[in-house]
Amino acid sequence: MQYASFLAPNGSETWGVVIDEVAHDLGPSGLNLAATIRESIEKGIFGTDLDLTGAPTYAEAELTFLPSLHNPGKIICIGVNYRAHQEESGKTGQTAPTVFTRFADSQMGHLADAVKPASTTKFDYEGEMALVIGKDAWHVTEEDSWDYIAGYGAYNDFSVRDWQKAASQWIPGKNFPSTGGFGPYLVPAADLGDVNELTLETRVNGETRQKASVSDLVFTIPQLMAYVTGFTKLNPGDVIVTGTPGGVGLFWGEGGLLNAGDVVEVEITGLGILRNTVANEIN
């Protein structure tokens, strides 16, 4: 099942299930089962067998997508967590995950512009897989970690490299407005099977730049769950963005970084294609 957050035809924020390119409105402008996908997770109805009878429907092609979860309490991002990316960046031998935060209001949805800040010449892509927490998670063991995951989605952690590299802390380069692409869908964990078998691919203007199996993660999903919940409590609807493979623009070579008009796609098996076009910031 593919869940999405979007604007209804009347402009209100809502959410629903997309089946055969038709969105069934389950939010405030529809069946009103919950205000947001996050609330549907909190109420325990996300990923369950829902009765769609009477739900307003809209053609997917006409939707204005919002970030799959546009109101998470926390977005925890993991850096250099694929072997090839560690090697290209010279950051091998880590004994613990690299962790930074992204603010919820820096996100945008599928088909929205990725805004290149006027203050940078080094705008980059990072295709990633995000997981969403399904219940209160604190000191979760690796063995129990899968039970705490509600679902997964594609993510693009667009990065402002000069701001990121200016100091040891990455937060400034990861939180400009409209630089965190999330979507188009959030897919329940139960619908995906073994996520280690999924393939992540990032394309720029149709050219494949990144391609890796989720099994190539240095710190696995259970290890990330145990580590992150070892220092902060996670709540339903919180997000962990698990890392990007090798092939980011910074190390791709001449012309690897992004400019206005570039179309970036992140495709993950079973999770759809997240597509964003780069646009220059308008002062």
Kind plus residue range of the DSSP H or E element containing 89: helix 83-89
Instruction: Reply yes or no on whether the pLDDT at 221 is more than 90.
Output: yes
How would you class 225 by CB atoms within 10 Å of its CB: exposed for 0-12, middle for 13-18, buried for 19 or more? buried
pLDDT band at 91 (very low <50, low <70, confident <90, very high): confident
pLDDT band at 44 (very low <50, low <70, confident <90, very high): very high
The per-residue pLDDT for 90 is: 73
The per-residue pLDDT for 64 is: 97
Instruction: Reply yes or no on whether the pLDDT at 98 is more than 90.
Output: yes
17 within 8 A of 23, measured Cβ to Cβ: yes
Which pair of tokens denotes residue 135? 């219940």
DSSP-derived pairing of the beta strands 107-108 and 180-182: parallel
Strand partners, 78: 99
225 within 8 A of 142, measured Cβ to Cβ: yes
Amino acid at 77: C
Instruction: Reply yes or no on whether the pLDDT at 207 is more than 80.
Output: yes
Percent of the chain clearing pLDDT 90 (strictly above): 89
User: What is the average pLDDT across 193-220?
Assistant: 96
What's the pLDDT tens digit per position in 2-13?
Answer: 999 999 988 999
Instruction: Reply yes or no on whether the pLDDT at 136 is more than 80.
Output: yes
User: What is the average pLDDT across 265-282?
Assistant: 97
If one compares 91 and 190, the residue with the highest pLDDT of the two is 190
pTM of the model: 0.96
For 75-280, CATH number?
A: 3.90.850.10
Q: Which of 87, 104, 159 is nearest to 128 (CA)?
A: 159
Q: Which of 69, 273, 80, 54 is nearest to 151 (CA)?
A: 69
How would you class 108 by CB atoms within 10 Å of its CB: exposed for 0-12, middle for 13-18, buried for 19 or more? buried
Instruction: Reply yes or no on whether the pLDDT at 231 is more than 80.
Output: yes
The per-residue pLDDT for 7 is: 97
Task: Please state, in angstroms and rounded to a whole number, the distance separating the CA atoms of residues 112 and 90.
Answer: 33
Going from N- to C-terminal start, the domains of the chain cover: 2-65, 75-280
Which pair of tokens denotes residue 187? 């897919």
The per-residue pLDDT for 85 is: 77
